[in-house]
């Protein structure tokens, strides 16, 4: 039987062998950590500590600045040294707290205490998730409590846990499903309760049969009357884990252009997020650590590390036998959508799924589009990327918008397959930014004209 999937996509080499067989290792927190206030989509948290303050692990050091924001917690116990500016993977520098680790790892009062997750109401689950500062751990970093609060009139009937992990190299979600299937399923049940529905699906790509079996067993063992929990195997294809493509593959529903999954009655959460939800509700542990895959030709001993938020990327690399002098490119995230960064001292944040060290990156000269159609075949949004790339290259941003530019999910399939090596997705991002700038300018002009 053909596995479920979506139309389009591509098959980059998986390159997961180096880490998928190795258990997640705890990385000892370093002496100093830099904890950014902007680790999520929405407004950055407001720094709630000052130099000299003593903090315990799990203590709030950044207060959420509004509903679409997330709290930031101290990942270790220790002392606030300074409030500094630090680089972020994307965009400008942000405020960050420089913590000196006292090595005691003492939890704050009320944290790390067993609680009964089964007794929580939907509202209580949402509150705990919000208080724990949980954001989408797949990389999107959207505050989870917002997703768990569907607006009036939007009925949710399905929760999908995303365990596809379709990016090459990354195996953190794979290991998590294998090692902690029960916490993931219990996290799923808490999410189901929060959004008020009964159907939960754990989606796993077919290249992780062991994780699928583990999730299937856990779903069966944790079954309850009135709940419909199942693991579902999906075809191995990039970007199977993209939200809209995942929903399409599992439910046949198309998320409307510009809409959200909840418009088609679905909430999608990463398996790591479900794990964090369980930790927050059952152990009162705020989000202070995450699993990061460290791999690539520039590391001698690739691994999955459970690292504290705020640990410098350098510390993870060095724990994996980093060949620093040979490394020419550092990628944060997966190779298809990750960000190449210049700063190895950047801290681990809530959205960092992988650190890849490449020794031999290639920079291509691009050529004219030869109209081979591979990007059209591959585009999971069914756009015509070749045409968009030509429009953007010519500076025709408005025309590109009219040709459905804004439906691009920036997965990079078009650019991966392009034989002319055209930086298509880069142009898409450029045009989107430029259109947003123009719109902001127009709005400002309209306001001043009133």
Contact residues toward other proteins (CB under 8 A) are 10, 12-13, 168, 244, 248, 254-259, 327-331, 333, 335-345, 356, 358, 361-365, 367-373, 376-377, 380-384, 386-387, 399, 402-404, 407, 412, 415-421, 423, 425-426, 429
Other C-beta atoms closer than 10 Å to the C-beta of 259 total 11
By beta-carbon proximity to other proteins, the closer residue of 72 and 320 is 320
Helices (H) and strands (E) in the chain, counts: 14, 17
Residue among 136, 102, 113 at smallest CA distance from 290: 136
Compute the least distance from the CB of residue 430 to other proteins, in Å: 9
Compute the least distance from the CB of residue 75 to other proteins, in Å: 22
Other C-beta atoms closer than 10 Å to the C-beta of 399 total 16
Residue among 246, 171, 232 at smallest CA distance from 202: 232
Compute the least distance from the CB of residue 251 to other proteins, in Å: 13
- E strands along 126-219, which residues? 158-163, 199-205
CA 68 to chain centroid = 16
Compute the least distance from the CB of residue 182 to other proteins, in Å: 34
Answer for the pair 67, 60: CB distance below 8 angstroms, yes or no.
Answer: no
Residue among 92, 207, 162, 167 at smallest CA distance from 355: 167
Please state, in angstroms and rounded to a whole number, the distance separating the CA atoms of residues 23 and 391.
Answer: 47
By beta-carbon proximity to other proteins, the closer residue of 119 and 258 is 258
By beta-carbon proximity to other proteins, the closer residue of 23 and 258 is 258
Please state, in angstroms and rounded to a whole number, the distance separating the CA atoms of residues 313 and 292.
Answer: 10
By beta-carbon proximity to other proteins, the closer residue of 105 and 404 is 404
Compute the least distance from the CB of residue 330 to other proteins, in Å: 5
By beta-carbon proximity to other proteins, the closer residue of 184 and 414 is 414
Compute the least distance from the CB of residue 165 to other proteins, in Å: 16
Residue among 381, 302, 316 at smallest CA distance from 346: 316
By beta-carbon proximity to other proteins, the closer residue of 111 and 203 is 203
């Amino acid at each position: 039987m053909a596995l479920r999937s979506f139309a389009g996509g591509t098959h980059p080499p998986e390159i997961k062998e180096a880490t998928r067989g190795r258990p997640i290792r705890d990385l000892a927190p370093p002496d100093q950590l830099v904890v950014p206030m902007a680790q999520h989509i929405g407004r950055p948290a407001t720094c709630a500590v000052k130099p000299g303050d003593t903090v315990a692990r799990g203590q709030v050091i950044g207060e959420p600045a509004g509903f679409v924001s997330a709290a930031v917690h101290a990942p270790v116990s220790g002392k606030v040294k300074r409030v500094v500016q630090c680089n972020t993977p994307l965009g400008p520098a942000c405020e960050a707290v420089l913590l000196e680790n006292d090595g005691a790892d003492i939890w704050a009062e009320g944290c790390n205490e067993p609680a009964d997750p089964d007794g929580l109401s939907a509202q209580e689950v949402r509150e705990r998730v919000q208080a724990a500062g949980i954001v989408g751990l797949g990389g999107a970093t959207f505050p989870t409590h917002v997703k768990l609060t569907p607006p009036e009139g939007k009925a949710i009937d399905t929760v999908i846990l995303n365990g596809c992990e379709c990016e090459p190299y990354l195996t953190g979600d794979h290991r998590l499903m294998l090692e902690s299937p029960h916490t993931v399923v219990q996290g799923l049940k808490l999410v189901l309760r929060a959004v008020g529905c009964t159907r939960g699906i754990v989606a796993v790509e077919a290249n992780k049969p062991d994780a699928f079996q583990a999730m299937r067993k856990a779903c069966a063992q944790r079954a309850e009357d009135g709940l419909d929990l199942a693991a579902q195997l999906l075809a191995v294809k990039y970007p199977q884990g993209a939200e809209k493509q995942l929903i399409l593959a599992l439910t046949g529903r198309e998320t409307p252009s510009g809409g959200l999954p909840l418009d088609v009655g679905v909430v999608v959460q990463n398996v790591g997020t479900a794990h964090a939800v369980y930790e927050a509700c059952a152990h009162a542990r705020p989000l202070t650590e995450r699993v990061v895959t460290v791999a690539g030709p520039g590391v001698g001993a690739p691994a999955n590390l459970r690292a504290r938020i705020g640990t410098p990327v350098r510390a993870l690399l060095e724990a994996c036998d980093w060949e620093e002098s040979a490394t020419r490119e550092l990628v944060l995230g997966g190779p298809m959508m990750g960000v190449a960064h210049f700063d190895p001292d950047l801290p681990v944040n809530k959205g960092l799924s992988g650190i890849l060290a490449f020794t031999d990156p290639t920079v291509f000269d691009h050529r004219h589009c030869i109209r081979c159609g591979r990007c059209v075949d591959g585009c999971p949004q069914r756009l015509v990327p070749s045409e968009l790339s030509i429009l953007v290259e010519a500076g025709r941003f408005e025309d590109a918008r009219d040709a459905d530019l804004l439906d691009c999910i920036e997965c990079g399939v078009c650019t991966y397959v392009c034989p002319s090596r055209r930086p298509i997705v880069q142009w898409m991002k450029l045009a989107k930014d430029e259109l947003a700038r123009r719109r902001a300018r127009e709005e400002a002009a309209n306001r001043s004209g009133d």
